[in-house]
């Protein structure tokens, strides 16, 4: 039977030679893991959130269910496996087995696995904020995690390379300046999830909600409120300041720093579509 590859993952893998090569090796990697970990592998999960990894339900030798995940080469998710070890199930899915060389993870399966996005956004705010407060811990040195400034530098290089497509050069330059300034001015540095939104929080039996897909960097906790906020488009359009303030207060972080991070990302985060009027409109609405 041919290996099924979710459409968004296939599209992302076509973007670079390294990812295409990873995709070519995937069938052999899965056969190896199936044998070594005694797995019965089901069809992969598909949908809007499956874009950077091959993820499938699996049966274990003892009859229990788990999830097998292999991530494509991806800068932001480079230390996901180490992050799962650091948090050790609190409040993330547990790592049952791992192959660091393959980047393969055998994970606790959330049952029933309903995504937090099924709840109204106001309720999502509360759950996300509580989870963030539990995630934010300072890792002891030495540790493998990169500073948030490394991600900002990477994004800055990508955005600068697209200068001819910028819709508003003044806004973009202001955002790029904040990518440099905000990591330097942070007074607290904790391990961040960086991609915590309602699609990455699932119902489980062990706890009411568990986090999946962390993309760990060490830095300003105010940054970690932004990904959920970007998924609240209608509320941001209606009342950007109020929506940002609500989530910042629930998470216990500074409103102004969250607003500045939101502006910087809306103005200067790299993107394929620089004609996206929503991002430009949000940046102008909350500009410093």
Per DSSP (E only), the strands in the chain are: 40-41, 53-59, 65-71, 95-99, 104-108, 190-192, 201-203, 209-211, 217-219
CB atoms under 10 Å from CB of 258, counted, come to 25
Low-confidence residues of the chain: pLDDT under 70: 1-2
Does 243 lie in the same domain as 159?
A: yes
Whether 2 is covered by a domain: the verdict is no
Domain boundary among 88, 108, 128: 108
Does 267 lie in the same domain as 132?
A: yes
Does 197 lie in the same domain as 130?
A: yes
Backbone angles phi, psi at 46, to 5 degrees: -130, 165
Q: What DSSP element (H or E) covers 279?
A: helix 277-285
Domain boundary among 57, 76, 108: 108
- Number of domains within the chain: 2
CATH number at residue 78: 3.30.200.20
Does 58 lie in the same domain as 26?
A: yes
Does 177 lie in the same domain as 149?
A: yes
pLDDT reported for residue 49: 79
pLDDT reported for residue 50: 85
Does 207 lie in the same domain as 152?
A: yes
CATH number at residue 194: 3.90.1200.10
Q: Which residue has the tokens 């890792």?
A: 139
Whether 78 is covered by a domain: the verdict is yes
pLDDT reported for residue 48: 77
- Surface-to-core class of residue 194, CB atoms within 10 Å of its CB (0-12 exposed, 13-18 middle, 19+ buried): buried
Instruction: Give residue-wise pLDDT tens across range 84-96.
Output: 999 999 999 999 9
Does 244 lie in the same domain as 206?
A: yes
Domain boundary among 76, 92, 108: 108
**Owning domain of residue 264:** 116-285
Instruction: Give residue-wise pLDDT tens across range 9-20.
Output: 999 999 999 999
pLDDT reported for residue 238: 97
Does 147 lie in the same domain as 188?
A: yes
Which residues are marked as active site?
195
Does 126 lie in the same domain as 59?
A: no
Does 184 lie in the same domain as 241?
A: yes
Does 125 lie in the same domain as 96?
A: no
């Amino acid at each position: 039977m041919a290996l099924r590859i979710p459409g968004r993952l296939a599209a992302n893998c076509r973007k670079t030679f390294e990812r295409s090569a990873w995709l070519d090796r995937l069938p052999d990697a899965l056969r190896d893991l199936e044998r070594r970990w005694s797995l019965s592998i089901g069809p992969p999960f598909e949908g809007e959130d499956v874009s950077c990894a091959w993820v499938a339900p699996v049966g274990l030798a003892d009859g229990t269910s788990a999830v097998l995940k292999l991530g494509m080469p991806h800068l932001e998710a480079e230390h996901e496996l180490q992050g799962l070890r650091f948090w050790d199930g609190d409040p993330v899915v547990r790592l049952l087995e791992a192959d660091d060389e393959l980047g393969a993870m055998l994970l606790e399966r959330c049952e029933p696995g309903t995504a937090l996005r099924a709840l109204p956004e106001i309720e999502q705010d509360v759950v996300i904020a509580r989870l963030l407060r539990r995630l934010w811990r300072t890792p002891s040195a030495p540790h493998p995690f990169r500073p948030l400034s490394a991600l900002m530098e990477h994004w800055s290089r990508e955005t600068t390379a697209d200068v001819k497509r910028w819709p508003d050069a003044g806004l973009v330059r202001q955002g790029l300046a904040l990518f440099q300034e905000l990591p330097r001015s942070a007074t607290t540095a904790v391990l961040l999830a960086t991609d915590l939104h309602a699609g990455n929080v699932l119902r489980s039996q062990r706890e009411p909600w568990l986090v999946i897909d962390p993309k760990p960097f060490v830095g300003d906790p105010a940054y970690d409120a932004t990904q959920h906020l970007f998924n609240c488009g209608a509320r941001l359009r209606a009342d950007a300041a109020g929506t940002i303030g609500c989530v910042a207060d629930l998470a216990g972080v500074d409103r102004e720093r969250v607003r500045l991070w939101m502006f910087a990302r809306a103005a200067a985060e790299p993107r394929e579509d620089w004609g996206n009027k929503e991002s430009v409109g949000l940046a102008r609405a909350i500009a410093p």
